[in-house]
Copies of this chain bind each other. A is one copy, B any other.
């Protein structure tokens, strides 16, 4: 068996975010549903961009945000995703490597540009996303560094990848390699609309391939067409080893076998932008999990990281997360020099 010298390796869309402030009305005028992610083609992306105010650009991508967070927490992280060899691709690669995460997927030298996500932040701090997948959608099994996957304790996959057939095949191939090498597989359901688009295959995936599941209330109820959160909880219980279900300011619930651990939300300041809340929840959870912490501790670090990222604009933490964990949870983080 390959030595486990990486804590978490993630596969996801490699995206640069364009954050803009927008009024509620803008969402309605453009047929967007608040809090969700809509896929757009290049023309739609250009048209939307042309109608919004000045933006702030920052690396994003759901799994990429999670892996950046794990690296910032001191975990040994790797990311697999596809950019183009263009300026935004260069920014994405710089930013994820600068967190300490490994990122070696070669940039595409032809085809669509690096993926962009236009994130509309409304006055209530909610984010609504329009994603042009660009180069990201071309991720296929040939791009996978399976040797890196084999070295990870946990392989983390974002549900958004399901929107591309090639990426979906890459996703399943990677899950099989991870399992074959004694690793665990974690999945984030990503978005309720994404769950709607791929409900059956997500259900099969959860039953057959997933050890740790991350989902928010809308996503888990969509997955099982449940009438309530409680009903969804009963549906998912026992289908995977651990399910961490988030409910925004109502905190989260961590399920494992018959256990249920309710976790309180953490408030560190005024709510500015919810972009990245779920991604950083998963970062905190998986970091604690791969450090051998109990589930309650996993949930607490998850809540803390999510609570931090919503106090700032953008999905990558601008503060030192290790220092935050020390201060709020009294954790002594292992030093970064333990990374391979």
Residues of A near any B CB (own CB < 8 A): 18, 21, 49-50, 52-59, 68, 86-88, 91, 94-96, 98-99, 113-114, 313-314, 316, 318
Q: Given known contacts A54-B59, A54-B316, A87-B88, what 7 new A-B pairs fall within 8 Å (CB)?
A: A18-B91, A49-B94, A52-B98, A54-B95, A56-B57, A57-B91, A87-B113
Q: Chain B residues with Cβ under 8 A from A86's Cβ? A: 86-87
Number of copies of this chain that the complex holds:
2
Complex alpha-carbon distance, A95 and B314, angstroms = 18
| Contacting residue for A21 out of B18, B68, B318, CB 8 A | B318
> A55 touching B87 by the CB < 8 A rule?
no
* Nearest chain B residue, comparing its CB with the CB of A51: B98
A20: min CB distance to chain B, Å: 8
> B99 touching A54 by the CB < 8 A rule?
yes
> A94 touching B50 by the CB < 8 A rule?
yes
* Nearest chain B residue, comparing its CB with the CB of A59: B54
Q: Chain B residues with Cβ under 8 A from A54's Cβ? A: 58-59, 68, 94-96, 98-99, 316
User: Which of A52, A86, A87, A316 has the most C-beta atoms of chain B within 10 angstroms of its own C-beta?
Assistant: A87
A106: min CB distance to chain B, Å: 18
Q: Chain B residues with Cβ under 8 A from A68's Cβ? A: 54
Complex alpha-carbon distance, A86 and B53, angstroms = 20
> A58 touching B56 by the CB < 8 A rule?
yes
A287: min CB distance to chain B, Å: 17
Complex alpha-carbon distance, A318 and B53, angstroms = 10
* Nearest chain B residue, comparing its CB with the CB of A19: B56
Complex alpha-carbon distance, A310 and B298, angstroms = 37
Q: Chain B residues with Cβ under 8 A from A49's Cβ? A: 94
* Nearest chain B residue, comparing its CB with the CB of A314: B56
> A55 touching B91 by the CB < 8 A rule?
yes
Complex alpha-carbon distance, A87 and B313, angstroms = 22
Complex alpha-carbon distance, A21 and B320, angstroms = 11
Q: Chain B residues with Cβ under 8 A from A99's Cβ? A: 53-54
> A58 touching B57 by the CB < 8 A rule?
yes
A81: min CB distance to chain B, Å: 16
A318: min CB distance to chain B, Å: 7
Q: Chain B residues with Cβ under 8 A from A113's Cβ? A: 87
* Nearest chain B residue, comparing its CB with the CB of A317: B54
User: Which of A49, A94, A114, A314 has the most C-beta atoms of chain B within 10 angstroms of its own C-beta?
Assistant: A94
Complex alpha-carbon distance, A86 and B54, angstroms = 17
